[in-house]
Amino acid sequence: MKKTITTTAALAALLVGGTALVPASASAQEIRFMCSSDGNECDSIEGILAGFEAANPGVDVIVDVVPYQAILENLPIQLAAGSGPDIAKVTDLGGLHEFYLDLSPYVDRDYWEESFGGTLDWYRGGPDDDGIYGMHSQLTITGAYINRTLFDQAGVEVPGPEATWDEWAEASRAVAEATGTAFPMAMDRSGHRIAGPAISYGASLFNADGEPILVDDGFTAYVQQFVDWHEDGTMARDVWAGQGGASYQDAGQEFLNGDLVYYYSGSWQVGRFDEQIGDFFDWQVVGSPCGTGGCTGMPGGAGVVGFNDTEHPEIVAAIIDYMAQQENYARLTAETRNIPAHAAVASSGVEYQDASGPAAAALNAWAAQVPSISPVAFQYQGYAGNRAMFNITVQRVTQAIVGELSVEEAMERAKTDLAEVMAETTQ
């Protein structure tokens, strides 16, 4: 690989040497990396890639840091129009599959299969596809945080690891009432976030043939409970009812302000909470509450992929492969305080840089949640059309919360929406 790059660079240098008017910088093979960050991930990637550039003179990797919204909304259109970057950090893992560069001809398949195992499927086109498309850089798990200080002040016992949603709701209400806290519970406005609790309530999301159904009795049961909690004030109404469309909204600020007892979000908030809460109050990861279908959160996260329109597929593959090497991956995980998706990095443990006691405890607590993730949750995360299902969920559940539709009507609409989406995407 290195030889190929060196040869290409040498050829480019020769061409430049023969063309006096072409500036020296034109010899560099420019690779554009579109990156969005909810922490320091892009900075960390840039640091790691400096090592790649040093080892591969002539390759210039430019990390374009963009808002997350640009990755969600602009990148797919750029890719469809053939004007996308060479590499990007994406979260719609299966949804952009058609644009991915298959890295398998350029990388050590055994190493990748051994290191990233199941997460490779999230980037694939289906069960018959054995290509290698993406390095899962940020494994996330959805679940809950509590404001431990409020529990202590209220003298309410923190429910145990097997506690149900009802028990958590009851405890949170008791704490909010005793301490005068504005909101007992809140959940991010996201179809991904509500999926874990719905699976815990027995939602199967797919039929026996693996086709998406979204709505079933388990799903409806959780949505009904969720809507009821909004009506009785258990859930912070501002998060879901305060927005239109399928826009994302989190409740992180309310938690940071100490206005929230129980916050259902995910592992990616650890860095933010560690940095901004400090010793303002004690916080704790409590994972996902239980229901008849288990105690599951949703896996997810972001990954680094190359695109098949790139003019430099070998270099793109080499860059991603470089990031996937154990020492580089461990560095990325430590610097960004994420849960590793790399088997060897996970098993050897990560020394999180500058992480405080609570942050280290939180990261370990999240890592301990991985075994309890339901297979349905993995299937949902790996399904290429999951973003459409997330959007349908957010829009229809919000309508039920604000009273535009009853829960039954909202669920019927969700079924119809899904059928329409399936019809459109198969055209």
Partner 1 sequence: MLQIISPMMRIIEIPMQYAQRKFGIQRLAWIFLLPNLILFGLFAFLPVILNFVYALTGGDNVLLNARPFVGGANFDTLTACASYFDPNSCERDFFWRAIHNTILFVTLQVGFMVGFSLLTALILNRDIRARGFFRSVFFFPVLLSPVVVALIWKWILQRNGVLNAGLDAMGLETHVWLLDRTWAFAWSVFLTVWAHMGFYTLILLAGLQAIPRDVYEAALMDRASPWRAFTKITMPLLAPTMLVVLVLALIRSVQTFDEIFAFTGGGPGSATTFIIQYIYQTGFAGAPRLFGLASAASIMLAFVLVVLTGIQLWINRRNVDG
Q: Which of 89, 48, 1 is nearest to 307 (CA)?
A: 89
Give the nearer residue to partner 1 in terms of CB position, either 254 or 274: 254
Between CA 88 and CA 98, with CA 93 as vertex, the angle to 5 degrees is: 80
> How far, in Å, CA of 314 to CA of 4, rounded?
8
172, containing H or E segment:
helix 165-179
Amino acid making up residue 20? A
For partner 1, which is the closer residue by CB, 187 or 359?
A: 187
User: Of 346 and 405, which has the nearer Cβ to partner 1?
Assistant: 405
Fill in the per-residue mask, 234 to 253: x = in contact with partner 1 (CB under 8 A), - = not in contact.
---xx--xxxxxxx------
Phi, psi (deg, nearest 5) at residue 101: -85, 130
414 binds partner 1, rule: CB under 8 A: no
- Give the whole-angstrom CA distance, residue 41 versus residue 68: 12
Task: Give the SS3 label for residue 415.
Answer: helix
Min separation Cβ 171 and partner 1, Å? 24
Question: Of 22 and 419, which has the nearer Cβ to partner 1?
Answer: 419
Give the integer Cα–Cα distance in Å for 349 and 364.
10
Q: Among all chains, which residue has been given the structure tokens 């896996």? A: 299
Does 76 contact partner 1 by CB under 8 A?
A: yes
395 binds partner 1 (CB under 8 A): yes
DSSP type of residue 125: S
Is 66 a residue that touches partner 1 (CB under 8 A)?
Answer: no
Of the residues 100, 171, 387, 411, which one makes contact with partner 1 according to CB under 8 A: 387
Toward partner 1, which CB reaches closer, 1 or 241?
241
- Judged by CB under 8 A, the residue of 194, 401, 407, 411 near partner 1 is 401
What residues contact 257, with CB distance under 8 A and at least 6 apart?
none
Give whichever of 73 and 232 is closer to partner 1, judged by the CB atom: 73
Residues within the interface to partner 1 (CB under 8 A): 73, 76-77, 80-81, 92, 95, 237-238, 241-247, 385, 387-388, 390-391, 395, 398-399, 401-405, 409, 413, 421, 424-425, 427
